[in-house]
Amino acid sequence: MEKKELNRKLHVGFWRKHLAELPEQYAPQESNRLTLLYFVICALDLLDSLPVDEERKKIIDWVYAQQILPPEGNREDDKENLWTHCGFRGSPFYGHPYADGGSIAGTHDHNHIAMVYTALAILRVLGDDFGRLNKQAILDGLKFLRNDDGSFRPHPFHCEADMRYVYCAAAISYFLCDWSAMDVPKTTEYIFKSRSYEDIFSQGPGEEGHGGSTYCALATLALTGQIDKIPEKDNTVRWLLERQSLGFQGRPNKDPDTCYSFWVGGSLSMLGSFSLVDAELLRAFIYQCEYKYGGFAKCPNHPPDVLHAYYSLCGLSACGEDDLPPVFFPLGISQRAADTLPPCPPAPTQ
């Protein structure tokens, strides 16, 4: 069988269309527009087609416009505790005036931990120097989201806490080269309490192990320099490898899905075991999900979307696809973008 090659022009066209205007199917995701932009920008980076010059500047300015800044004056005068809202919102859906450096927090205007992570990732991939970040305000807002058990909430008014937000907190801290918002030993304890009987990781203690939550746990351990602390690592690798039929599934008895090329494939990469994957089989599955007008779907005969399309490119990169640069899986960005970060001090694990 002839080996299929990536049609770079086709896929660049898909991503450029999404950068210019999102299809109507994304309307319910308005509050998550930073995350959608993250997929678009990171995909264009892998395809060597990042925006440049004035277009790049406009995107960076728009990202900074979603920054939520602390109110003026002393914190003691902040009767609404608006300093806890600082970070990034997902889009200007609250209708506040545009300001390319960010805007002052309001009663109903607050951060979301995933939007902070994706904002920082976008800025770094576009080569921004973080010069307009209010770093301390972001760290203060992040610290407020921390729970006593080391887990994190997504925003100030939400009681949900799980491994997704733990990962976001670690990635934010790594981007900012500052671990002060995390209690790393407590977070590490939370991660290992969330280890299932299968020697993988769940969203929280006592829950079902899953490929996505395993990625979040492993990436957090990798960013904090603790991935070698995993006991029974061979069992973790075995479970992850068993998730491959054609592509990867997220848990047993589920259909394969291209996004697990990233979650499961990235986990194996961080564990130094991706070489054990049947890369040609994975590659063939991803191409079965390729859409004729560009992009990749979650499974064959489905329409593409930006999440599955980007994670498919990451999977192809891990498989050694020609001309796709390597991915730095702990941060979910290209290795070359990660290499531009200043050295991050070791996380305080004691």
Structure tokens at 181: 């918002």
Q: Output phi, psi for 152, to 5 deg.
A: -135, 150
Does pLDDT of 155 surpass 70?
yes
List, for residues 62-117, the tens digit of each pLDDT value. 999 999 998 876 666 666 678 888 999 999 887 666 666 666 666 678 899 999 99
Task: Sort 49 into a burial class: Cβ within 10 Å, 0-12 / 13-18 / 19+.
Answer: middle
Does pLDDT of 119 surpass 90?
yes
Q: Output phi, psi for 343, to 5 deg.
A: -55, 130
Which of 157, 160, 158, 222 minimizes the C-alpha distance to 191?
222
Mean pLDDT for the stretch of residues 289-293 = 97
DSSP string, 46-90: HTT----HHHHHHHHHHHHHTEEEPPSS-GGG-TT-GGGG-EE-S
- Arch. (CATH architecture) of 13-20+29-338: Alpha/alpha barrel (1.50)
List, for residues 127-149, the tens digit of each pLDDT value. 999 999 999 999 999 999 999 99
% of the chain beyond a pLDDT of 90:
87
Structure tokens at 110: 């607050």
Q: Share the mean pLDDT of the chain.
A: 95
Mean pLDDT for the stretch of residues 313-322 = 97
pLDDT for 79 equals: 62
Q: What single DSSP character describes residue 346? A: P
pLDDT band at 159 (very low <50, low <70, confident <90, very high): confident
Does pLDDT of 207 surpass 90?
yes
pLDDT for 115 equals: 98
pLDDT for 72 equals: 79
pLDDT band at 217 (very low <50, low <70, confident <90, very high): very high
Mean pLDDT for the stretch of residues 321-343 = 97
pLDDT for 82 equals: 81
* End-to-end Cα distance, the chain: 54
Determine contact, residues 283/319, Cβ cutoff 8 Å: yes
Bridge partners of residue 108, in order along the sequence: none
List, for residues 54-69, the tens digit of each pLDDT value. 999 999 999 999 999 9
Which of 341, 259, 261, 264 minimizes the C-alpha distance to 308?
259
Task: Sort 292 into a burial class: Cβ within 10 Å, 0-12 / 13-18 / 19+.
Answer: exposed
